Structure 1
Amino acid sequence: MKNAAQVRHLTIAFDNKPIVNDVCLDIPSHQISVLVGRSGSGKTTFLRAFNRLNEEHTGCQTSGELCLDLGTGLEKQSDIYAGSVTALRLRVGMLFQTPNVLPVSIWRNIAMPLEKLTNLSREAISQRVEKSLNDVGLWSEIHDRLHSPATRLSGGQQQRLCLARVLALEPKILLLDEPTASLDVLASKHIEQLLQQLVERYTIIMVSHSLSQACRLANKLFVFDSGNMVKSLSKQDGITEEKLAALIEPRL
């Protein structure tokens, strides 16, 4: 099976305090890989390493090797874009726990990053906006109020708008940090359905605190504890909520 990422001996510390310890694992292409573990186990810090977000914080020290396949085969992350973090994040997009819509219109939420980060024409930007809104199932709901403030959307719609903003930049890998944590049951279900459709086009790596969600979505599942990756499971192993609970709860 082709891998979208290979992680070898990745260690991440903040002010010399290790958060992720010597992690080695492979992320399969065009599958959903889910990271689970109790709070503070290092899974979000590990996730943020894929687009170097940890480096936004002073005192971060990272060692080990992380290779990514962004269309031309596996390459060392440090070599891919000659140090351009912005260019890397265009190809490795991230969606956070809480919707972070910009205080502008629905349309501008997607168009602004495209204007700033690409050389696309106005027509091409318009096409990207419409396509990304269709990809997340929002176009039919809001096409007649594209110039209304994005803050007027429901929480679930705002999260889908944020996902559309990421997709408009045409990444290869999607990083999702608890993407349904702030949503109600129906909105969460909608996001999960979208992810199951999007995995045909993207490699998805996500953190989830919900064991039932992890079981529903994961093709590959990695259990973290105290900064270590202690167990990996695949769908073929018969991932169940009970099995995950047995792996995680003894460490609580």
Structure 2
Amino acid sequence: MKKKILFVVSSAAHIGPHNRATGNLLTEVAHPYQTFKKQGYDIDIASVNGGVAPIDMVELDDAMNLAFLADEGAVKMNNTASINDVSVDGYDAVFVPGGLAPVVDMPENPTVQKILADMYEKGGVVSAVCHGPVALINVKLNDGSYLIDGKNVTGFSIAEEENYAKEDVPFELEDALKQRGGQYSAASPWQPYVVTDGRLVTGQNPASATGVAESVIAILEPTT
């Protein structure tokens, strides 16, 4: 049976005290999307508010990004379902891309937390990249424990944030993951780095986006 992936994306278009324009980072949506699509998976996109999910349009000279926008990607991002209307039933994995946007509307969102917890509890794969793991920091499982407690994780590092958006974010993702018991590790800034711990997959930065999707596929398509 064909696998199904649920993308959970942000609805935020601005962040921080200076009202910095942001969105879901194009590379971190497009590269995993195209990787899952090549594998033959069905992909649905749901956003916090539904409707238009803003895209941070960087790297428009990138072939996978352009393919995503020229194909169905732009249409799907402009017509997302609301997370309030989504159930994880029927999906094999959930993926949260980054960009600064999820920092705005995901950490304290109970529906985001429920989607991620439900996916994990039912035996599915939970994955996120760059700032996307911000959605994980307050997710609790049925036993009351934090999903990331004791698990190996990564995400956008303090070293990377220093020259990117330190003045715009309300906290450092690296610190937040550690505070919830995550066993955080990272590579050198901007280098691809993916961490898999069971059915939890996290990537450090935009360069890690394809690797996260490939790691999810490896879990869903185990070799015999």
Please, what TM-score do these two structures have when normalized by structure 2?
Answer: 0.29
- Larger Rg computed on CA atoms: 1
Please, what TM-score do these two structures have when normalized by structure 1?
Answer: 0.27
Q: Name which structure has the greater RCO, CA cutoff 8 Å, separation 6+.
A: 1
Of Structure 1 and Structure 2, the greater strand share is in 1
